[in-house]
Amino acid sequence: MIATYQQYILNFKQASGTSRGVLKTKETWFLIVEHEGKKGIGECGIFRGLSADDVPNYEEKLQWVCANIHLGLDLLLAELIVFPSIQFGVEQAFISLQSANPFLLFPSEFTQGNDTIPINGLIWMGSEAFMKQQIKDKIEAGFSCIKMKIGAIDFKTELELLKSIRKEFSAEDIELRVDANGAFKPSEALEKLKILSHFDLHSIEQPLKQGQIQEMARLCEETPLPIALDEELIGVFDVTKKEDLLLTINPQYIILKPSLVGGFAGSHNWIDLAEKQNIGWWITSALESNVGLNAIAQFTYTLQSKLPQGLGTGSLFTNNFESPLQVKNGTLQYQNNNNWNFKL
């Protein structure tokens, strides 16, 4: 068995705003495993500035994986505990290698084109006019769940945007989620959440910056609005620490990005712990190419969650790979007549 890796830079169609700044490109890495004439492909979707494994020796670790691919999946995953995005790439590559089709990791009604995955439409930060246009486009495209990033522009302007949506569409028509990406200060968060709760929101993601455990626990206890932890889960590798985190904060939801939490195994681990505490969850992509998104979507479908998932990021890039994934009527669909065009 031999393994190689290659870097790939994804280019955004238009710069995408978050509370961490504006994204123009997204770095990712592909792991290719070959054995007896078959090929397995995995994407290691590192997210610079966010991933726990955004470290100087990242590429060195990929070299180590390629040199030690003979160790097999379980031993590699154990050695890669602090490299969640590489864990995910390794998992994908091994499952892909064993499949008749390297991109068919979890055959299901979804991959047969008989069923779909409901997803949220993502509204990026920007000027009021830009955000308004995105909202209009998503509603016209048939989305019944919209996720709006907040915390970068003026709070009053963001409230006006939410108000304009609710003027036209009730909570029964459109489910609204907001993502603060840790933008609120602990001293102001509860007040802001009280104001936001007037708009019948489904939830708010990560209102406080990660690492403020006691403040977040207090907020989750007092909040008038369901809180979903996102960044808070990043870099928590030990099972006991994961359990302690959920017991202490006791959020209403957690959001799992497989590239950031250790792939399929890491996601399963968090889900098991959350369900023990009656904490809801959903899965979100982390700006992977269609290769990683395809793996996440197929995995997500097997979990049979009824909530809209965060998997609508495939169309953001100019140089993504053609794939069977297609967003239609607010759902992610698998079009079997679309072939893969995976060339590095």
Instruction: Please give the positions annotated as active site.
Output: 149, 257
Domain(s) labelled CATH 3.30.390.10 in the chain stretch across: 2-98
Asked if 338 and 323 touch (Cβ cutoff 8 Å), the reply is yes
**What CA–CA distance (Å, rounded) separates 254 from 230?**
6
Instruction: Give every residue of the chain whose pLDDT is below 50, as ranges.
Output: none
Give me the residue label for tokens 């308004």.
132
Give me the residue label for tokens 């930060």.
125
Please give the backbone phi and psi of residue 15, each rounded to the nearest 5 degrees, phi first. Answer: -50, 135
pTM above 0.75, yes or no: yes
**What CA–CA distance (Å, rounded) separates 289 from 298?**
14
For domain 2-98, is the CATH number 3.30.390.10?
Answer: yes
Would you tell me which CATH number, out of the four given (3.90.550.10, 3.60.15.10, 3.40.50.720, 3.20.20.120), belongs to the domain 117-334?
3.20.20.120
* Amino acid sitting at position 246: L
> With 0-12 CB in 10 A as exposed, 13-18 as middle and 19+ as buried, what is 173?
exposed
- What does the pLDDT read at residue 153? 77
Domain(s) labelled CATH 3.20.20.120 in the chain stretch across: 117-334
